[in-house]
Structure 1
Amino acid sequence: MHNDDRAGAASDPGGPERYDFGRPAALSREHTRALAGAFDVFARQWAIQLTSKTRLRAHIAVERVTLETYDEYVATVPPTTTLVVCAAEGSDDRGIVEFPLHTALSWIVKMLGGDGSSRVDARGLTAVEQALLRSLMDETLGHLRGALGALLPHEFTVSTVQYNAAFAQVASAQDLIVVARFSMRFADRTETASVALPAMPLLERLSHTASAPDAVADPALVRRHVEDTPVELTLRLAPRGMKPSEVLTLAVGDVIPLPHGQDRPLDLAVGDQVVAAAAVGANGARLACVVTSSPLSHSLAEETK
């Protein structure tokens, strides 16, 4: 049986699961669902972090979560890649956050103020570049600990940066690891990434968590996740309706009067929801808007009392 078949069976809770007699260990459906949900939270937080740090619009999604041997994992990872090896103090267990080397270099270029839009040739990182990457990944591991909660040691931190999974020897060839694979989209470029964690301690903690009574959902935590979700703001004039025949006859130089008075503020909207009124302003050499009133501020203030 091929790895892809096993991965597809494990990630599809509605389909039949194939049994691998050569390696009977597999994630249960409940464990797969719980881990996929946790890694999905991590993917969203990681995308927000990369968007703010690298000024590149990032979209990260979980593709699948599987149980593999370290040897099987090494076979699926590119020969040269970025392997951020993570470890917990006082423990031999180590994990990996893996992504393409040229992607790591493009992040560093953007963090240093460069363009970073073109593909950067893969090469080893300098000492300064490694320091920048370690700082970025320390924050990423914080998001991973927050998403997985008690499943990860609290002190899980960056240990080293490697470029070849076989030489890194993070685990023995037949040691089982939980592997979460992600798709990463930056503008028109799509990359892959993975997180590999030692299976035995992770699944043991997961079993203890699953057997414990369900905790009451924390409204503050839910609110914080909602508040951290990126949204697009639109500054707009009052719309004007036009007939299709009028639109089709438009030509260069035509002037379209708008039903928006010069002294009327513009609408600041999220989707179709107007959240504030604003006036046009400037911030240095860039256009900006100055919020003049917000009907939501009073209702939010009442909620937080």
Structure 2
Amino acid sequence: MTEVLSQDEIDQLLTAINAGDTEPEDFRPAADTRKIKIYDFKRPDKFSKEQIRTVSIMHDTFARLATTNLSANLRSIVHLHVASVDQLTYEEFIRSIPTPTTLAIINMDPLKGNAILEIDPAITFSIIDRLFGGTGEGTKSQHELTDIETSVMEGIIVRLLGNLREAWSTVIDLRPRLGQIDTNPQFASIVAPNEMVVLVTLETKIGDVEGMMNLCIPYITIEPIIGKLSAQFWYSSVRRGTTTENLNILKDKISNASISVSAEVGSIQVTAKDVISLRIGDIVNLYNSRVDEPFSLNIGNKRKFLCRPGVIGKKIAVQIVKKIAEFEQDEFEELTSDETEILNG
């Protein structure tokens, strides 16, 4: 805080200056020590730190899915992880990638515009070598892809786009489609050179071969959903999406599950000798059951319903008359057990 001088102090300073004892230069204000951040108006930041962090989290999911996908398809150890997420101009991105390389132009429907998935040549030829039955070492000579190699890479990229759609599902129902594959960055002009893009760099390792995958998304493409890239929206979407997804999976699994259902007429404890001696036509007296009482319908080993016997056509059937509540199940089982012990006592 600036110190305020009293009137006496001001008078003393003026007297000293007039007498020549002090030079006016001695009273110059102290230099401003504040840190100044340089801002380039030709390259404005479009994404906030929070939005960049959300994009990084989304593509961490993509990296995990792509790792599993590529490992299964290549039958090799594959590892992907997000190395960095940066914002830069499209021209800087184009200058930073080698020639030739694998450039996949991706339609980002329902978003407007395209994105680019760039795959390092070392990774590209390692994938092709693995799919052609090789060890995945690739080739040292860099050349443009042949028609067969392009077709092979199209299949791999389409599978990766399925992983990308799943990773983005918490923000938007993205339906990415592969447009074309180029090898010369100069021919891949999806936006103006000075347009800002977000660049997701994925370190990729296939066996002993290492390289990079770069996903370049222009700001004008992602702008309509920029508000959804906040951490609060993303985490809330993850919770909702995960819950709904899990419920649907559980419903599908349960609907196709097989489980035993049995109608229990009654129960009695007998010796093993009596069981062995049973013959067709023998009558077993169930002391703890009455004719007018409903049966217990068991789902697995749990009593769930009360039912009455009957027939449908020529088939024996039961009719459910009541659902047994949980506390009634415990009581029902306990009473039956006690009665059985008394009867056998």
TM-score (norm 2): 0.54
Aligned pair count? 209
CA displacement at 1:222 relative to structure 2: 7.8
Task: Give the number of the structure whose alpha-carbon radius of gyration is greater.
Answer: 2
Alignment of 1:1-305 (within 5 A): 19-22=38-41, 23-88=43-108, 93-149=113-169, 154-208=174-228, 210=230, 214-215=236-237, 216-217=239-240, 218-219=242-243
C-alpha spacing 1:62/1:90, structure 2 compared with 1 (3 Å): closer
Answer yes or no: is the 8 Å Cα contact 1:88–1:153 preserved in 2.
no
CA displacement at 1:187 relative to structure 2: 2.7
Alignment RMSD, CA only? 2.9
CA distance in 1, matches of 2:104, 2:46: 26
1:61 maps to a residue whose letter is H
Consecutive unaligned residues of structure 1, counting only runs of 5 or more, are 1-15, 225-305
Give the match's secondary structure for 2:50.
Answer: helix
2:130 maps to a residue whose letter is K
1:20 maps to a residue whose letter is Y
CA distance in 2, matches of 1:56, 1:19: 47
C-alpha spacing 1:28/1:148, structure 2 compared with 1 (3 Å): same
C-alpha spacing 1:167/1:32, structure 2 compared with 1 (3 Å): same
TM-score (norm 1): 0.61
Consecutive unaligned residues of structure 2, counting only runs of 5 or more, are 1-34, 249-345
Answer yes or no: is the 8 Å Cα contact 1:151–1:206 preserved in 2.
no
CA displacement at 1:116 relative to structure 2: 2.3
CA displacement at 1:154 relative to structure 2: 2.9
C-alpha spacing 1:193/1:88, structure 2 compared with 1 (3 Å): closer
Give the match's secondary structure for 2:104.
Answer: strand
2:175 maps to a residue whose letter is E
CA distance in 2, matches of 1:150, 1:129: 34
Same amino acid, percent of matched pairs: 20
Give the match's secondary structure for 2:169.
Answer: helix
C-alpha spacing 1:223/1:122, structure 2 compared with 1 (3 Å): farther
C-alpha spacing 1:170/1:208, structure 2 compared with 1 (3 Å): same
Answer yes or no: is the 8 Å Cα contact 1:103–1:120 preserved in 2.
no
Bigger CA drift: 209-218 or 188-197?
209-218
CA displacement at 1:125 relative to structure 2: 1.7
Answer yes or no: is the 8 Å Cα contact 1:67–1:199 preserved in 2.
no
C-alpha spacing 1:190/1:109, structure 2 compared with 1 (3 Å): closer
1:29 maps to a residue whose letter is K
Give the match's secondary structure for 1:80.
Answer: coil
C-alpha spacing 1:95/1:153, structure 2 compared with 1 (3 Å): farther
2:86 maps to a residue whose letter is T
CA distance in 1, matches of 2:101, 2:211: 12
Task: Give a deviation string over 1:82-141, Cα, whole Å, max 9, x none.
Answer: 111111468751111111224212212211222223545222222222122111111101
Q: Which runs of 4+ in 1 moved over 4 A?
A: 16-19, 88-92, 150-153, 219-224
Give the match's secondary structure for 1:78.
Answer: coil
